[in-house]
């Protein structure tokens, strides 16, 4: 990667933001052994060069009455232009959480929000009808739970990794338009000050603060997360899809605890259908990945089979899509 330089001070900053993406400049500066001004400059630099591509507010749409459906799409032989246009259309025109280019038995992963299966059927049939010339085949997996972990690989030290659980279909909570405007304002930049948010939504600082604290208390804001470009750290990105032997399901809790203690695993997702678990891992190389898979399979006979998919490019993530109000 040209002109991308990440030194020890940057890594100390990233380590702090990994632990707490909303940490104050004072906390970050103290941890990185630099001044507040230098910390601010370096965070802006990391953001401008897309090493950090967002500070997300983790909106728990499960509490707002929505479910998430994952689709694996295999494309027909199409041009790069048609391919890119299709993916852009998926992300911009539908209530999409995540879209990614992948390499393996299919080409695209897309996660789509819907209030229930019938609503998803309407949305996905619209996608199919508009893209008959592009879509060759697809598989659909209702998503039961997404767990996000800290990266844990910016510095070579053992740290206790947090986990944040998302997207469980939960007790429905209704919010008003003001809360919706606040969530829209902070969904891709959780580091905005209350004053900055207030200017965006035409509210006072204290009103914004009180509403955000209430959204956190209700669990609608489940937390905050820095996302980085794994390629800037010379890492690969894979998904490991796992099918369970359900006669040994008692091992699942231990398996998930094992995953949480492994640096470089960004997320685990529980699915319904052909696969039961999806592990997203960012190893340094194929050897490290293979070592992890061997260790995983030797420890847990629960794993009946697995499939490996490489993530080539994240097209986008949106924890509170504008189109979600249309479903």
Q: Where is 88: in which H helix or E strand?
A: helix 80-93
The yes-or-no verdict on residue 1 having pLDDT over 60 is no
Find the mean pLDDT for residues 238-260.
96
Distance, in Å, from the CA atom of 154 to the CA atom of 35, rounded to the nearest integer, reads 20
The yes-or-no verdict on residue 169 having pLDDT over 80 is no
Distance, in Å, from the CA atom of 140 to the CA atom of 274, rounded to the nearest integer, reads 9
The yes-or-no verdict on residue 157 having pLDDT over 50 is yes
- Closest among 116, 73, 74, 71 to 97, alpha carbons compared: 71
- Residue 295 in domain: yes
Average pLDDT of the chain is 93
Distance, in Å, from the CA atom of 69 to the CA atom of 146, rounded to the nearest integer, reads 12
In CATH, what number is assigned to the domain containing residue 19?
1.10.10.10
The DSSP letter of residue 3 is T
- Residue 240 in domain: yes
Q: Which pLDDT value is given to residue 326?
A: 46
Find the mean pLDDT for residues 163-189.
90
- Closest among 227, 250, 242 to 319, alpha carbons compared: 227
Same-domain pairing of 145 and 268 = yes
Q: Which pLDDT value is given to residue 141?
A: 96
Q: Which pLDDT value is given to residue 14?
A: 96
Handedness of CA 42, 44, 45, 51 (dihedral sign): positive
pLDDT digits (tens, 9 = 90+) for 3-13: 688 999 999 99
Distance, in Å, from the CA atom of 269 to the CA atom of 167, rounded to the nearest integer, reads 10
Same-domain pairing of 125 and 244 = yes
Same-domain pairing of 268 and 139 = yes
What secondary structure does DSSP assign to 93-157, as a single string?
Answer: HS-EEEEEEEESS-SEEEEEEESSHHHHHHHHHHHHHH-TTTEEEEEEEEEEEEEEE----SSSS
Higher pLDDT, 237 or 168: 237
- Residue 137 in domain: yes
Angle between helices 36-48 and 8-19 (to 10 degrees): 90
pLDDT digits (tens, 9 = 90+) for 98-149: 999 999 999 999 999 998 899 999 999 999 999 988 999 999 999 999 999 9
Cα torsion 190, 193, 194, 200 to 10°: value is: -80
Do 315 and 86 meet the contact criterion of CB atoms below 8 Å apart?
no
- Residue 73 in domain: yes
Range of the domain at 7: 1-49
Same-domain pairing of 103 and 67 = yes
Same-domain pairing of 264 and 139 = yes
Please classify residue 298 by burial: count the beta carbons closer than 10 Å to its beta carbon, then call 0-12 exposed, 13-18 middle and 19+ buried: exposed
Portion of the chain with pLDDT greater than 90, in percent: 83
Q: Which pLDDT value is given to residue 161?
A: 83
Q: Which pLDDT value is given to residue 327?
A: 44
If pLDDT is split at 50, 70 and 90, which confidence band does 83 have?
confident
Q: Which pLDDT value is given to residue 2?
A: 54
Same-domain pairing of 236 and 315 = yes
In CATH, what number is assigned to the domain containing residue 298?
3.30.70.3460
Q: Which pLDDT value is given to residue 158?
A: 72
């Amino acid at each position: 990667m040209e002109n991308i330089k990440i030194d020890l001070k940057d890594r100390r900053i990233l380590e702090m933001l990994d632990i707490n993406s909303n940490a104050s400049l004072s906390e970050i500066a103290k941890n990185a052994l630099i001044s507040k001004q230098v910390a601010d400059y370096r965070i802006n630099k990391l953001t401008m060069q897309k090493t950090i591509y967002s500070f997300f507010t983790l909106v728990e749409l499960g509490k707002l009455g929505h479910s998430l459906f994952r689709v694996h799409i295999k494309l027909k032989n199409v041009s790069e232009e048609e391919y890119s246009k299709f993916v852009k259309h998926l992300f911009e025109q539908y209530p999409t959480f995540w879209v990614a280019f992948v390499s393996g038995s299919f080409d695209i992963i897309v996660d789509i929000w819907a209030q229930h299966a019938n609503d998803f059927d309407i949305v996905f049939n619209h996608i199919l009808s508009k893209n008959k010339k592009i879509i060759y085949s697809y598989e659909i997996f209702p998503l039961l739970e997404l767990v996000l972990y800290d990266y844990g690989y910016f510095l070579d030290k053992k740290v206790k990794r947090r986990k944040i659980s998302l997207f469980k279909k939960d007790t429905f909570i209704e919010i008003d338009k003001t809360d919706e405007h606040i969530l829209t304002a902070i969904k891709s930049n959780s580091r905005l000050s209350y004053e900055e948010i207030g200017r965006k939504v035409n509210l006072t600082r204290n009103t914004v603060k009180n509403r955000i604290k209430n959204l956190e208390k209700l669990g609608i804001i489940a937390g905050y997360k820095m996302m980085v470009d794994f390629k800037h750290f010379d890492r690969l990105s894979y998904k490991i899809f796992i099918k369970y032997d359900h006669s040994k399901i008692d091992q699942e809790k231990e398996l998930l605890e094992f995953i949480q203690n492994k640096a470089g695993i960004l997320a685990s997702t529980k699915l319904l259908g052909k696969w039961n678990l999806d592990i997203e891992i960012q190893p340094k190389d194929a050897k490290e990945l293979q070592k992890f898979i061997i260790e995983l399979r030797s420890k847990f006979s629960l794993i009946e089979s697995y499939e490996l998919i490489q993530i080539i490019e994240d097209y986008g993530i949106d924890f509170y899509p504008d189109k979600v109000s249309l479903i």
